[in-house]
Structure 1
């Protein structure tokens, strides 16, 4: 049986990581028998991050790598889409994973209201005596990465203006059909849906969580994916 190595459940989600949720959705749609195995410390994993899929032959890192492996076994996450729709799907995936994701990280790791909750959730395995210095050092590294990526250089209003353009683009698709590419979930939904869900689930009332929670179209979409692809 396949085993998905994933970050544990958090904030009411299958996992705190939208990429782990994406991998779980893909496994569920693939029809393969699988189970989860939770971990917090991914330093010994390929790429030093999760998700990772344990197959009979190897450890397959990264949600895109997992997708490629599942497709090689016969899964088709874009069944019925022509080349143009597949291209649109790919663009939506990149928008979610290369832009919206960093807004989630910023909303969580750079927010002093959220940080104590994250610290006790993500670093629960670290002995309490050293949890604060260890987690603070990692937080400092994450914030440095956000600065290098560029997202933290914008003001909150500038950041949210950029996010709004993405959310309006997603909504334009959803006004035409139940899912982004039609009446059934395809690969873009498996990335965009978990990213929006992560935004909504951040354990504090931020301007970004408010934006998602107050949008009925986006909330209905998040919930529909969860109902359609029911995870164990």
Structure 2
């Protein structure tokens, strides 16, 4: 049986990580027998990140590489799509994973209302006596990375405007069909859906959570994805 090494459930989601949710969706869609195994410290993993898929032969890191491995087993996540739609799918995935994702991370890690909840959710394996200084050090490292990536250099208004353009692009697809590229979920949905779900689930009343919760089109889409791929 395949084993998905994933961050634990959090904020009402299968995992706090949208990449772990994406991989769980792909596993559900593949029809392969699989189980989850939760961990909080991925430093011994191949890329020191999660998700990782344990197969009978090896550990497969990274959601994209896991997709490649599953496709080598015969599953086609984009069955029925034209070459143009597959190109659109690739662009949607990159928009979600290389832009929206960092907006979510910043919304969680740089928000003093959210941070205490994150600390008590993600760092439970650290002894209580040293949890605060250790987690604060990790927080500083994450925020430094967001500075280097560039997203933290924008004002809140600038960031929200950038997010809005992405959400408008996603909405333009969803006005046409229940899923991004048709009547059934494809690889684009398995990336975009978890990103929007994570944005909505951040455990505080932020501009991003409100934006998704108050948008019936996007919020209904998230619900539809969760119903299409029920996870435990």
> TM-score, normalized by length of structure 2?
1.00
Q: Tell whether 2:36 aligns with 1:40.
A: no
Match of 2:135 in 1: 135
| 1:226 Cα deviation from its structure 2 partner | 0.5
Q: What pairs with 1:217-232 in structure 2 (closer than 5 Å)?
A: 217-232=217-232
Q: How far apart in 1 are the matches of 2:218 and 2:6?
A: 25
Q: What pairs with 1:8-87 in structure 2 (closer than 5 Å)?
A: 8-87=8-87
Q: What pairs with 1:88-167 in structure 2 (closer than 5 Å)?
A: 88-167=88-167
Q: How far apart in 1 are the matches of 2:205 and 2:12?
A: 15
Structure 2 SS opposite 1:53: strand
Structure 2 SS opposite 1:113: coil
| 1:230 Cα deviation from its structure 2 partner | 1.5
Q: How far apart in 1 are the matches of 2:182 and 2:101?
A: 24
Count of aligned residue pairs for this structure pair: 232
CA RMSD in angstroms comes to 0.4
Q: How far apart in 1 are the matches of 2:57 and 2:130?
A: 37
Instruction: Give a deviation string over 1:208-227, Cα, whole Å, max 9, x none.
Output: 11111000000000000010
Instruction: Give a deviation string over 1:48-71, Cα, whole Å, max 9, x none.
Output: 000000000000000001000000
Structure 1 segments, 4+ long, off by >3 Å, are none
Match of 1:195 in 2: 195
Q: How far apart in 2 are the matches of 1:106 and 1:69?
A: 31
| 1:145 Cα deviation from its structure 2 partner | 0.2
| 1:96 Cα deviation from its structure 2 partner | 0.1
